């Protein structure tokens, strides 16, 4: 995996509203693999903060969301150009 892809996965994992399913769809890696990637690429303290933040968060799991998928759009979304999925 290229460093650019790893950086994008880390960025997506930190975003509250980006689901693990979205990461799997774009990069083909499971939630467990994302956790392992984060563990290996973040400082220990940063990983602990991220795990505490993500654990139990409904928005990181599509099946637990209370809102319609696609309703939320990040204000910075246009500036992100490394998405593998083309913009429609």
Q: What is the pLDDT of residues 34-86, one digit of tens each?
A: 999 999 999 999 999 999 888 877 666 555 555 555 555 555 555 555 665 65
Supply the pLDDT for residue 41: 95
10-23 average pLDDT score:
88
- Within the chain, residue ranges assigned H as helices are 3-14, 20-27, 31-41, 44-54
Which residue ranges make up each domain of the chain?
3-59
Q: What is the pTM of this model?
A: 0.65
Between 6 and 77, residue with greater pLDDT: 6
For residue 8, which of 49, 50, 41 has the smallest C-alpha distance?
41
Q: Let me know: does 17 contact 59? Beta carbons within 8 Å.
A: yes
């Amino acid at each position: 995996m290229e460093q650019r892809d790893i950086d994008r996965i880390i960025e997506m994992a930190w975003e509250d509203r980006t689901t693990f399913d979205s990461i799997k769809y774009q990069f083909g890696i499971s939630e467990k693999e994302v956790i392992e990637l984060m563990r290996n690429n973040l400082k220990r303290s940063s990983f602990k903060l991220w795990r505490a933040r993500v654990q139990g968060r409904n928005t990181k799991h599509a099946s637990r969301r209370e809102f319609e998928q696609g309703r939320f759009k990040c204000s910075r979304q246009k500036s992100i150009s490394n998405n593998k999925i083309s913009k429609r």
